[in-house]
Structures are given as C-alpha cells and as structure tokens.
Amino acid sequence: MEKKKITWEAYSTRQIGELDTLSGEYIDFISRCKTERECTDYIVEAAEAAGFSELDALIRSGGRIKEGDRIYSVWMNKSVALFKIGKKPIIEGMNILGAHIDSPRLDIKQKPLYEDGGLAYLDTHYYGGVKKYQWVTIPLALHGVIVKKDGTTVIVNIGEEEDDPVFFVSDLLIHLASEQMEKKANKVVEGEALDIIIGNKPLVIKGRASKEEDKDDKKGKDRVKSNILDILKNTYDVEEDDFISAELEVVPAGRAREAGLDRSMILGYGHDDRVCAYPSLRAILKAGNVERSAVCILVDKEEIGSVGATGMKSRFFENMVAEIMNLSGDYSELLVRRALANSCMLSSDVSAGFDPSYANVFDKKNACILGNGVVFNKYTGARGKSGSNDANAEYIAYLRNILDKDKVTYQTAELGRVDAGGGGTIAYILARYGMNVIDSGVAVLNMHAPWECISKADLYEAYRCYEAFLKGQGV
C-alpha cells in the first residue's frame, strides 16, 4: 500500500502560498496580541470588518436574527463569542469551535512597587503552569490596563517597540551558585523571586544642596522608586495607588519569528492557545452559508482552570445562546438546553509535540509529530483519564469522514505516556451539556515556556480542519 503523503509533501503551489499568507498573518497576530484584552480588541475589529454585528446593540434596538446573520458578543473585554446563523433552527444544534486566549505569564500584584539595593522592582505572581526558572534573564514587556478611580482606562504596552525599554528578572551568577545548583528545578527560582527590575536611576530633586537636607523629605527616601513614580505620573498620569485597580501582565518582549533554515516553524510567545484561536477565528470569519449555525468561542482563564466570570465555567456562553435564540423567536429554557445538547464542538487546544530529546515521556506511536497535521486527542486528563472528556467513537468517525472528504491531514495523540503527567482543556466543560466534544489543535514544542514552537503546516491544517468542521451536518 502506498504511503500516505503528509502536509509539505502533498501541498500544491497554491496551498504553499495560502500557508505562507496564513503564517505571516498569524505571526503578526501573536506579536501584537499578548494578553486576552489585546486578543479581544483584535477579534472585535476583525469581526466588524467581516460584517458581524454586536449582540448587545441588537438587543437594545429590538432587532431580530435570521439566517445568514453574523453576531458577536464580548464579555468583560476578555472573552468573545461569534455566531454565523445557519439555515437550520439553532435548536437542532450548532457547530462550535472553542479555544482560549490567555497564556502563562507573570501578573503584577496590587501593591507591587518597591526599592531594594538601588533597584526598583514590580512584585509579581505567576499565572498558569510555568517552569519559573525559564523566566529569568530574558527581555520582558509590560502589557495591560490601569483603571483610575474616575473610570479612565490607561492602556500600557512597554517593551515591544525597538526603542522601548524592556524589563527582566535577575538570576544568580554562576560563580556564586554552588548551593543554588543543588536545588530541584522547581526550587531553583521560587515564585516570590520573580519580581521584575524596572529601574536604577534615583530621582534628582532640584534645589536641594545635600542629602542631609532631604532626610526628612519623603522623596529623599527610596529615590529610585520615587523616580519611577514620577515617570508614571508624567507619562500616564497615574499614582501609586492606581496599581490597586490595574491588570498588568509581564510577557516575553519581541515579535514571533520564523524558525529553522527552511522557515518551516514559528517561534513565539502564546502559541498555547492562540495558535488554535487564530485559525478558529479565521474559519468563522470566512464561513459562507452554513446548514447548522457556526460558533466560535474564544475565552479567558483556561490556564488557571477556566474559573471566574470570563472563564468557560461561567455561564456567559449559555447566556449568549439564550439571547440569540430569543432574538430568533425560539427561546425557552428547554429549547436552549436542547440546542446545546444537539451541538458538536472542537475544543481547539494544543497538544504536546513529540520531542526526541525527551522521548522517554512520550509513547511515540501515540504522540503527535510536528508537521504531520492537525491533532485530535480523544482524551486528555491525567493517570486514569482523570479530569478528561473522552470523545465518543461515533463522533470521531463522523469527523474522520468530514476531514477525509476535504483532504485535511490529521493525526491522533495522547498527552505523553500513561502516568507521566497530564493536563486538560475546556472540552469537559462543554461536554456537561451533553454535546459531542473532542480536543483538536496543533502540536507544540516547549509548551508553556516563554517561547514555544509550532509547524506552519500544522497551523494551516488546523485552519482547513476548522473550515471543514463548520460546514458539517452534525452527528
């Protein structure tokens, strides 16, 4: 039997061109959008340019929804749902793509600014599963918002432009690190040691003749910190107390880059899970007339358990479906439940790409390989499939048929060897409604590191997979 060609070997000249275009646009997306708020702004801009209308505006105007309409809804500036209304009533089910737009990072605490040893610091609390030692000595950027008491929102983005300053977490020099080098990896750098250095220059108080004259002056103490506060006041018109109502995230500085002499890969921050969010967004924006309503959910807080008002465990998506059905004239609590139960979903999240350098933690025949296409994980979880959504065989057969018809290259995988570890996605949360759900995404090397790696071919196949899925008729 002839060996099946995979990705690069099978592409036509036209497909290579599409792959290159998609990869370039994706590199720009993850370079610009390093927080969930920035992703949301990008998504809304792209949705409106594609003819999507805001759900809240339709509700206020008393509008009605009909076949072919394109609707989006934003929740707390951190999660978005997009709907393309199909020919069939929503009660017959939707085809749903779901991904998350948050990524592991360092968050700035509410009382963060302090001075020690002539250096000014911002105190941090890491977010999501990270190897803390990976975050030291690399250039870092500061993104987020500061909301003042009067409601004014100040947008912060420092470290991405070539002439911007960057920040960093220091590490112990090797000459003095004999004791440190004996520690376990999870103790080499501890959480409270991940404070970022943001300054070293003391405030110069004009008109003061000597330090002695300044000793009773508040600005005579912690002068490096005072200088930082002056900069914040002059640049952003914010005070130290405004940190209390700020959401500031520390992320790796700089643009994503093509990787490899053959330029076949992309190295960047936040592939988990924006490498699935972006093709999901592209697929629904490009969707034409569909039989079943097509939906794309792009959510926050997956990296910390999908909790909170903007995580998948909240009811914001269920509420949006209810509003959509109400504007369609088909609302009741029972009909909403039926619509959700009759739906199909791809929980679009990344999978652990096989790494030959660490082959002992993989079952190679059940591992995903970079460049071999979009990945399906029948189950995730840990140990005895704990915490997993385990997809039905009938649903997988349905998906195989769809993908083969569109000649989408796909592979199946597990998240490492049994008992080697594990992880989860938003799949089990949507499965609670009784809908068919399976994890589907892109293989990643260096997952959860500041810089992760994916194959351009896998990104392209994920997009082709999501396009084919949205056209499906349902199980």
Q: Are 467 and 283 a contacting pair, CB within 8 Å? A: yes
Q: Are 36 and 300 a contacting pair, CB within 8 Å? A: yes
Q: Are 437 and 427 a contacting pair, CB within 8 Å? A: yes
Does the N-terminal peptide bond of residue 273 adopt cis geometry, omega within 30 degrees of 0? yes
Query: What is the per-residue pLDDT for 2?
Result: 43
pLDDT band at 198 (very low <50, low <70, confident <90, very high): very high
Cα–Cα separations (whole angstroms), residue 421 to 14, 352, 454, 475: 41, 11, 21, 32
CATH class as words, domain 7-103+269-470? alpha beta
Distance CA(181)–CA(443), nearest Å, equals: 32
Q: Are 126 and 140 a contacting pair, CB within 8 Å? A: no
Query: What is the per-residue pLDDT for 220?
Result: 61
pTM of the model: 0.93
Mean pLDDT of 136-155: 97
Residue-by-residue DSSP string for 139-153: -EEEEEEEE-TTS-E
Distance CA(453)–CA(53), nearest Å, equals: 35
CA angle 213, 214, 215 (to 5 degrees): 100
Structure tokens at 162: 């070539």
Look at residue 208 and tell me whether its pLDDT is greater than 60. Answer: no
Residue type for 416, please? Answer: G
Neighbours of 110 (CB within 10 A): 12
Look at residue 103 and tell me whether its pLDDT is greater than 50. Answer: yes
Say what angle helices 13-32 and 36-49 make with each other, to 10 degrees: 130
**Poorest-pLDDT segment among 17-26, 35-44, 78-87, 422-431:** 422-431
Neighbours of 100 (CB within 10 A): 29
Distance CA(138)–CA(136), nearest Å, equals: 6
pLDDT band at 215 (very low <50, low <70, confident <90, very high): low
Neighbours of 334 (CB within 10 A): 9
The residue assigned the tokens 């420092």 is: 158
Distance CA(153)–CA(139), nearest Å, equals: 26
pLDDT band at 423 (very low <50, low <70, confident <90, very high): confident
- Over pLDDT 90: what percentage of the chain? 88
Structure tokens at 151: 């409601």
Per-domain residue ranges for the chain? 7-103+269-470, 105-252
The residue assigned the tokens 């470290």 is: 159
**105-252 CATH fold:** Aminopeptidase i, Domain 2 (2.30.250)
- Nearest CA to 71 among 93, 56, 87, 91? 56
pLDDT band at 474 (very low <50, low <70, confident <90, very high): confident
Distance CA(272)–CA(457), nearest Å, equals: 16
- Nearest CA to 128 among 229, 267, 250, 28? 250
Average pLDDT of the chain is: 93
Helical H segments across 33-74, by residue range: 36-49, 55-61
Q: Are 466 and 283 a contacting pair, CB within 8 Å? A: yes
Structure tokens at 92: 């017959």
- Nearest CA to 100 among 272, 283, 343, 256? 272
Distance CA(116)–CA(132), nearest Å, equals: 22
Distance CA(186)–CA(166), nearest Å, equals: 26
Mean pLDDT of 417-436: 90
pLDDT tens digits for range 265-284:
999 999 999 999 999 999 99
- Nearest CA to 101 among 150, 169, 39, 54? 39
Query: What is the per-residue pLDDT for 209?
Result: 47
Sheet order of strands, 265-268 included: 257-259, 265-268, 452-455
pLDDT tens digits for range 17-62:
999 999 999 999 999 999 999 999 999 999 999 999 999 999 999 8
Task: With H, G, I as helix, E, B as strand and everything else as coil, classify residue 408.
Answer: coil
pLDDT band at 422 (very low <50, low <70, confident <90, very high): confident
Structure tokens at 215: 């000793």
pLDDT tens digits for range 328-358:
998 999 999 999 999 999 999 999 999 999 9
The dihedral sign for the CA sequence 299, 304, 307, 310? negative
Query: What is the per-residue pLDDT for 211?
Result: 52
Query: What is the per-residue pLDDT for 7?
Result: 86
pLDDT tens digits for range 286-306:
999 999 999 999 999 999 999
Mean pLDDT of 255-268: 98
Q: In the chain, what is the straight-line distance between the N-terminal and C-terminal CA atoms, in Å?
A: 31
